[in-house]
Amino acid sequence: MTLRKPVRRVVTGHDDAGRAVVLFDDADAPNTFSSETIPGFGASVVWFTPSGTVDHVTDEDPAPAGRQFNFPGVGETIVRIADFPPDAAYPQNAGDAVFEEIQGQEEREAGGEHSDGKHFWFHRTESIDYAVVLEGEITLLVDEGEVTMRAGDVAIQRATAHAWSNRTDKVARMMFVLVGTEPISPAQIAARRSGARTPEPA
């Protein structure tokens, strides 16, 4: 099984005199998941903030080992480093295997409305996601279209159904900053867009 490269996490804070200090310097982020069934697939949650006021005072680690993170609620943020192995590394029932491991069955169902089953990673979350390719190459698929991204490229994913396809022979590493947003369905978005373009009656 392919071993994941560790994710080093450095977090700053303050001491009791208000001076800035390095609070954590972890050789490998403690909240790390490595798949037992999909070689090279895994992720580390390096930080989390709840909705409301962000805590800059305490030394509490909001992303400790063992805490379960799925997708953010409204106003919450999650910073996640994820490794995507080549598509060929996934088992035949890839969609079932992936979403069972990340407990994302609802997100999978929400992403399948218009994708016509063209890729097992299709899902949709109620969030705006800033996705940065750190290493390798990966293809972002949406219902209508796709874009291949390489190290340094950034995608802004706005609550759309999407999938990540690694068509190379090497693991791709990405950083995601996920910000939970108010729920709105694609049908509601379509209705509002249509409404916005409808001229006012005379």
User: Rounded to whole angstroms, how far apart are CA atoms 195 and 202?
Assistant: 16
Span 111-134, pLDDT tens digits: 777 767 787 778 899 999 999 999
What does each C-alpha distance from 20 to 54, 57, 59, 64, 79 come to in angstroms? 17, 11, 12, 22, 22
Q: Tokens 């290493």 belong to which residue?
A: 135
Q: Is the pTM of this model over 0.95?
A: no
Residue 1's pLDDT band (cuts 50, 70, 90): very low
